[in-house]
Amino acid sequence: MSAARSLLIRHRDFRALWVGEVVSRFGTAVSSVALPLIAVTVLQATTFQVGLLSAAAWLPWLLIGLPVGAWVDRWRRRPIMQLASAGSLILFASIPLAAHTGLLTIELLLAIAVLTGAAAVFFQTAYTAYLPNLLQPEDQAEGNAKLHGSASAAQIAGVGCGGLLVQLTGAVDATLVDAATFLVALLCITAIRHREPRQQRPGTALAAEVISGLKLVTSDVWLRTLTIFGGVSNIALMGYQSIVVVFLVRELGVSPALVGALIAIASSGGVVGAFLGRRVADAVGTARATLLFELALPTLALLIPLTTDGPGLALYTVGAFCIGVGVVGGNTIKATFQQSYCPPDLRGRLAASSAFLNYGTIPLGALLGGTLGEVLGLRTALWITTAGVPLAGLVLLFSPIRRHRDLPSHPKGSDVAERLDLGAQ
């Protein structure tokens, strides 16, 4: 059997986590198409309101991201993932109920987006900290590549099916698919047999732990560089992603089914990126591969604002495909680096602090995209936001990453917790 298959075959708990993650990613991808289409076609939302909807889903990273990291380091991670999945299940199931009772409004849709975003903060932070405890260090690179690649494949299927489901059942009822996938995820996580030891409650206050997490990210040049890059990059990425559905539907007259198909084709770049991530890193080094994935490939994002109807739609798919290769390939390398670089008892705070600074810019990007689209027009807004995708890579180019072949596997000198005076908490 191949090494790529062996982990799924021999590791039952990883297999359960993998199934739950892939299925929930499929459902979330369906909703990523359905929710903007609900806003555009059912609620007649403006371009700014569609951008606001995208921002609402990521706003919780700014509001609660930091304390969640400290909480995750205090609690067992598996029950957190279970509660987050159950909450998302209920929230997505409420959308068709509200619509069929005449209660669905753009304000309610925004509230649901915020609450499901909050559940995602808890799940993603716990999940990031939980995975290294589930796998041996030698399996973590394979596990990350498999999860990122499979999640990208599920996203491709989800957005493709999302457009088709919207066409067949309507945008509102398509969200039931997402509710069902969170049920599957909940059952899979519950089936995991591995049990973490009970977390020892630290003697320090929650605020001190939050500060220590931020210090962990900001005091280390490698973590700081990758975090700043992620934050800047996400402004540009979400800026164009928040308005591209509106652009395709209103500017080019693309049907919902074709929107889903186009996004699915473009998203297949994520599968290619996950497949290539480890292989390119092994061949040229993790630092050089990061520059290739995060700086060189995303320059083709500038094809997106050139998109026209008919054959010109290929420009969108090529540009977005290359972005997907770069983002997922780079994320696969970064995830393995962070898991080996950071001590286990600090991983929750690292995940939350870096995510706060990374994902916290996503609402800003969504609002920027919506505002630019409303004020300057959709195509001009796409030129501005897609230009920011390769420009963000300059953060990496003018950093120590440019001078090294590989990212370090651990900090130089003493243990990171002692070096940053964080203590073993």
The predicted pLDDT at position 209 comes to 66
Is 198 part of any domain? no
Question: Is 124 contained in some domain?
Answer: yes
pLDDT at 198 over 50: yes
Lowest mean pLDDT among 103-112, 137-146, 296-305, 375-384: 137-146
The first and second tokens of residue 13, run together, are 């708990």
pLDDT of amino acid 424: 34
Q: Give the chain's domain count.
A: 1
pLDDT score of 212 more than 80: no
Confidence of residue 280 (pLDDT cuts 50, 70, 90): very high
Residue 14 has pLDDT above 70, yes or no: yes
**Cα(154)–Cα(61) distance, rounded to whole angstroms?**
24
Q: Is residue 200 part of a domain?
A: no
Model confidence at 2, pLDDT cuts 50, 70, 90, reads very low
The structure tokens listed for 116 are 């499901």
Domain range spanning residue 386? 3-193+205-419
Examine the pLDDT at 423 and tell me if it is beyond 50: no
* pLDDT of 290 higher than 90: yes
Listed range (54-63, 131-140, 188-197, 313-322) with the worst mean pLDDT: 131-140
- pLDDT over threshold 80, residue 42: yes
Task: Say yes or no to pLDDT of 416 above 70.
Answer: no
pTM of the entire predicted model:
0.66
Q: Is residue 260 part of a domain?
A: yes
Average pLDDT for 23-41? 82
In contact, 14 and 7? CB cutoff 8 Å: yes
Flag whether pLDDT at 85 surpasses 90.
yes
**424 lies in some domain:** no
**103 within domain boundaries:** yes
Q: 100-106: which pairs have CB atoms within 8 A and are 24 or more residues apart?
A: 100/172, 104/38, 104/42, 104/43, 104/172, 105/43, 106/39, 106/43, 106/45, 106/49, 106/53
- The span from the CA of 398 to the CA of 299, in Å, is 17
**Residue 266 scores a pLDDT above 70:** yes
pLDDT confidence of residue 359: 75
Across 366-390, average pLDDT:
91
* pLDDT 10s digits, 153-169: 676 677 667 767 777 77
> For 422, phi and psi rounded to 5 degrees?
-95, -25
Whether 420 has a pLDDT exceeding 50, the answer reads no
Nearest-angstrom CA–CA distance, 177 and 230: 30
Domain of 148, CATH number, reads 1.20.1250.20
Query: Which residue did the predictor score with more confidence, 271 or 107?
Result: 107
| Chain Cα centroid distance, residue 415 | 29
Summarised one tens digit per residue, pLDDT across range 102-141 is 899 999 999 999 999 899 888 888 887 787 777 776 677 7
Tell which wins on pLDDT, 93 or 340: 93
- 399 conformational bin, left if phi > 0, alpha if psi -120 to 50, beta if neither: beta
Q: Select the more confidently predicted residue: 249 or 144.
A: 249
What pLDDT shows up at residue 380? 95
76/69 Cα distance (integer angstroms): 12
Q: One-letter amino acid identity for 101?
A: T
pLDDT of res. 288: 93
Q: In this model, does residue 8 exceed pLDDT 80?
A: no
Assess if residue 161 is contained within a domain. yes
**Phi–psi pair at 52, nearest 5 degrees:** -65, -35
**Residue 3, Cβ neighbours under 10 Å: how many?**
8
Q: Does residue 401 lie in a domain region?
A: yes
What pLDDT, on a 0 to 100 scale, did the predictor assign at position 255?
Answer: 83
Q: Are 245 and 54 in contact (CB under 8 A)?
A: no
pLDDT for 206:
64
Half-sphere exposure for 276 (CA within 13 Å, toward CB)? 21
